[in-house]
Amino acid sequence: MSNSLFQLVPNFGDTSETLRKAVEQMKDKYYHRGMRRKLVAQLRQKGIKNEHVLEAIGRVPRHFFLDNAFEELAYEDQALPIGEEQTISQPYTVAFQTELLDVQKGHRVLEIGTGSGYQASILAALGAEVYSIERQENLYWRTKELFRKMQVNNVRLYLGDGYEGLPKYAPFDKIIVTAGAITVPETLQEQLLIGGTMVVPVGRPTQQMYRVVRITETEFYSQVYGEFRFVPFEKGVKKRK
């Protein structure tokens, strides 16, 4: 894996003092790895079967994506606040969506709702070429800076309204929406390759997980999975104050 996020003794090119300090705080210690192993065992018990997905969760340090105050909780199977009234999804939800998406190495994957960047990193760890859109400028810049420090180079971040997708880079093998939509977003399904899959939670106040496969230019096949609770999929870009 050329991606230094996963080299546990990172070699960060930038020598500036602030950056060095920030990076030093992102230590991945034995006990973090131990907690990740327990989390993986829990996810397995809860029904996650895809070994690649489990392995990615075992490898990506979730505590890097959270405020220090949540370090102890980072490997509990729960959603946690990331600011701007948003949350990092529960690990089970991340695993469930990623498993449904069936990501293969080299797939071009569009994620809607970058948030902390954790889900995008799991996709990157699976070898995908990730494009991720966030509508909140504060979160966009924070995650961009985090990825720069971690030298994550197979995730491209965009500030924009995810409802529009990324027509310039379409079609995608896979699309994952990590906020609760009201209906299956049509603009997004149009950006799928034929044979491509979109995983999107749909409904209010809770969501059913939809898996939509594009069968032909005009036909889509969808199946519905369990119930989840996401933050809402909202329109427009929210600028920094």
Candidates 2-10, 24-32, 160-168, 193-201: pick the segment binding ligand SAH (CB under 6 A).
Answer: 160-168
| Cβ–Cβ < 8 Å for 173, 196 | yes
Q: Does 40 bind ligand SAH (CB under 6 A)?
A: no
- Residue 158 CB, nearest distance to ligand SAH (Å)? 9
13/236 with CB nearer ligand SAH: 236
Closest among 225, 186, 234 to 207, alpha carbons compared: 225
Task: Please select the residue that binds ligand SAH; options are 93, 97, 116, 191, rule is CB under 6 A.
Answer: 116
Q: Does 87 bind ligand SAH (CB under 6 A)?
A: yes
d(CA 4, CA 1): 8
Task: Please select the residue that binds ligand SAH; options are 62, 64, 99, 134, rule is CB under 6 A.
Answer: 134
Non-local (6+) Cβ contacts of 21 within 8 A are: none
Q: Does 133 bind ligand SAH (CB under 6 A)?
A: yes
| Cβ–Cβ < 8 Å for 128, 155 | no
Q: Does 77 bind ligand SAH (CB under 6 A)?
A: no
Other Cβ atoms closer than 10 A to 127: 16
101/216 with CB nearer ligand SAH: 101
d(CA 181, CA 202): 5
| Cβ–Cβ < 8 Å for 134, 177 | no
Q: Does 61 bind ligand SAH (CB under 6 A)?
A: no
Task: Please select the residue that binds ligand SAH; options are 119, 154, 189, 191, rule is CB under 6 A.
Answer: 119
d(CA 138, CA 115): 10
Q: Does 128 bind ligand SAH (CB under 6 A)?
A: no
Q: Does 162 bind ligand SAH (CB under 6 A)?
A: yes
116 is catalytic: no
d(CA 37, CA 233): 32
Task: Please select the residue that binds ligand SAH; options are 97, 136, 154, 189, rule is CB under 6 A.
Answer: 136
Residues marked active site are found at 89
